[in-house]
Structures are given as structure tokens and as C-alpha cells.
Amino acid sequence: MDSRTLGDPGTSAFALEKYPFYQLNRTVSRYNAVIEARLRSIGLDVPNWRVLMILGERAPRSVGEIAQAAVINLSTMMRIVQRMARDGLVRLAARQGDGRVREVFLTEKGETTLAAARDATSPVYAAAIAGFSEGEFDQMLALLGRMHGNLGDVEG
């Protein structure tokens, strides 16, 4: 039988192993569990790591932009960022020209911690993608992007 049918939760033939969202959640959960232990050894948790990685790509960013990129709701992200500011990893400032928007900047301590987090998590990433060719990796990203786009078509 077609795996797309077996993965459809609306059918009596449903098979959990064929359900792509189960496989995605299972993979992300395992990844987070592995990196969480590594991050804990340098005094970080996964939400702080996400913020540091996002700001490491481009800073400053607004709290809302970080929340969207991290796939975390805005109120939760505000609490995470405030905690990180108390810990000296980031600093908050009003956006020039629009004081309603809070921008988040990496501090020197945040940059040092980001470097340590990259060192801690990079081997996990390398292990996760081991054996994938460049083409397979690009295809996986394209397929996930397509599925994400398909879901945007049914929102509402």
C-alpha cells in the first residue's frame, strides 16, 4: 500500500511509522535530548541556545523576529530574552525610530557562550547528517520546505 495512505490518520490503515509528523517530532525530540545534555554542561538550555544561534546569524533582531524564527510564542520568548539579559548574554534596547519594538543584541558574554554552544552542538549535527550526500541533504530541505508550504495552504 502507498505510504501516503498509510500515513493518513483518517484511514483505518494508519501506520504510525508512515506518519511524517511522527517521524519529524521523533527526530527533533531525540536531537534536543542529545544537545540538551551538551548545552547543560556549558550552562545553557535549548531555548537560550536557539536565541543565541538566531542572533549569531544576524543581530540585532526584535523579540518578535526571534520568536518567529525560534517557533516560540512571543510572550514566552519575552521571558526567555529577559532571563538571558539578567544572565548577561544579551541586552535589550528600544529600536531607533520605533520605541515600541525591543531589539536584542548579543553581549560579549553572549558571543563567548555562542562560540562554546557551537563547539558543543556541532558534533551532534555532524553525526545527524552523516551519510547524506549534498544532493540528498538539499532534497530533504526542499521536501520539508514544500511540506511546510503545503500546510500554509490549509491554514485558516
Per-residue pLDDT, 35: 97
In a domain, 17, yes or no: no
Gap between the Cα atoms of 138 and 87, Å rounded? 37
Among 43, 82, 85, CA closest to 74: 82
In a domain, 21, yes or no: no
In a domain, 131, yes or no: yes
In a domain, 78, yes or no: yes
In a domain, 1, yes or no: no
pLDDT band at 81 (very low <50, low <70, confident <90, very high): very high
Gap between the Cα atoms of 33 and 46, Å rounded? 9
Q: Which of 24-28, 96-100, 103-107, 133-137 has the lowest mean pLDDT?
A: 96-100
pLDDT band at 91 (very low <50, low <70, confident <90, very high): very high
Per-residue pLDDT, 98: 86
In a domain, 12, yes or no: no
Among 49, 47, 29, CA closest to 122: 49
The pTM of the whole model exceeds 0.75: yes
- Average pLDDT on 82-103 reads 93
Residue with cell 541556545: 49
The pLDDT of residue 43 is above 80: yes
- Domain of 81, CATH number, reads 1.10.10.10
Domain count, the chain: 1
CA 115 to chain centre: 17
Gap between the Cα atoms of 21 and 34, Å rounded? 20
Per-residue pLDDT, 114: 98
In a domain, 39, yes or no: no
The pLDDT of residue 155 is above 80: no
In a domain, 11, yes or no: no
Gap between the Cα atoms of 110 and 88, Å rounded? 7
Domain containing residue 141: 44-154
